[in-house]
Amino acid sequence: MAELVKDIEKDGEKKKKKKKKKKLRRREARSLFVLYRANSCVRTALNNTVAGLPARLKHQAREVEQKCQTGRSGFAACCLMR
């Protein structure tokens, strides 16, 4: 009986941890992209940050890099670490 109780408690802890990870991912994605003027956005800096990003955010960073090169509406979104 004691083992069953421990298993149930462990399952509950695992479920809570999964929920927290999802919230952190959303916050991380929101805070990663900040608007800067096109002339202050440097391509080498973008490449360095793209290399350091987790896989789930790399495609977003590449889209941002393309917008930066075209310089739409005088602004460019630069990908920043932290």
- pLDDT tens track for 22-81: 555 655 555 555 444 444 455 555 555 555 666 666 666 667 666 655 544 433 444 443
Beta bridge partners of 36: 76
Q: Can you give the pLDDT at residue 38?
A: 40
Q: How far apart are CA 80 and CA 49, in angstroms?
A: 7
Instruction: Give the global pTM.
Output: 0.22
Q: Can you give the pLDDT at residue 81?
A: 37
Q: Which residue range(s) make up the domain with 71?
A: 2-79
Domains in the chain, number: 1
HEC states along the chain? CHHHHHHHHHHHHHHHHHHHHHHHHHHHHHHHEEEEEHHHCCHHHHHHHHHHCCHHHHHHHHHHHHHHHHCHHHEEEEECCC
